[in-house]
Amino acid sequence: MASTKSRLPRNVTSTSLKDRIYQSVKWSLIIGEYFPGSVLSLRSLAKKMGTSTMPVREALTRLASERLLQSSVKRSYRVAELDPKRVADQFFVRARLEGIATELAVPNMTAREIDELEALSQMMEGDIESGNNENYIVRNYNFHFSIYAASQNEELFWSIERLWAQTGPYLAQVVRSQEMPKEWQLLHTQISRAIRGRSAGEAARLIEKDISWSISTFEAFTASEDKS
């Protein structure tokens, strides 16, 4: 888990304990390591981290303020329960913001960056083929955020990342629990191809398509859950 942290842009000197705990928990949320409704208590987390509760509570108040965790007074912190309206709202904003970021990014990306993108998309196709959902989740994150980083708009980048962490627990749960749809297989390759061709509008359209597929997959999943 610690090795993946280097993917996230940050100030080089964020060595405080509270920051490391914050990053650690946030990453766990993004890759869906916690389930909706999971309880995160100060003392148990502190024990697990080998610290006092102090840095943990600062980390958790941060996460709660970014709406990644829910908290009410004197009740334990927990991963937000599934609220279809809320998740739909989040995906809606994600689609718009990620489309905008992609449009900005396309003219900025270097040939080397696009090569890496294409390599990633190849591996993601393989992950879908072999059903390696775990790898897919991480590579999908890296794929998207190497694009958004190229938008060179930090504010945009952070807004999107916050939303990913919010939708992470739900989406990852879906991706883990079932075979990934075959339609997903080509999409990311098409995206990197559109970027290579410098067609910003096309790339943005495909990114938004990617997200709308996520939505419908998610909705189909929750619908089937309700019946069981």
8 binds, among a second copy, DNA, none (CB under 5 to 8 A by kind): none
Q: Where are the beta strands (DSSP E) in the chain?
A: 39-40, 69-70, 77-79
Q: By CB under 7 A, how many residues form the interface with DNA?
A: 25
Query: Is 74 an interacting residue with respect to DNA (CB under 7 A)?
Result: yes
Residues 80 and 168 sit within 8 Å (Cβ to Cβ): no
Query: With helix as H, strand as E and coil as C, how does 123-138 read?
Result: HHHHHHHHCCHHHHHH
Q: Is 61 in the site for DNA (CB under 7 A)?
A: yes
CA 142 – CA 54 distance, rounded (Å): 32
Considering beta carbons, is residue 36 or 126 the nearer one to DNA? 36
Record the tokens describing residue 143, joined without a space: 């794929």
What phi and psi, each to the nearest 5 degrees, are found at residue 59? -65, -45
Question: Measured from the CB of residue 45, what is the shortest distance to DNA in angstroms?
Answer: 8
Residues of this chain, 21-60, that bind DNA according to CB under 7 A: 40-44, 46, 51-55, 57-58, 60
Cβ-based nearer residue to a second copy, 26 or 188: 26
End-to-end CA distance of the chain, in Å? 34
Residue ranges in contact with a second copy by CB under 8 A: 11, 13-16, 18, 22, 57-58, 61-62, 65-67, 72-73, 86, 89-90, 92-93, 96-97, 100, 153-156, 158-159, 163, 166
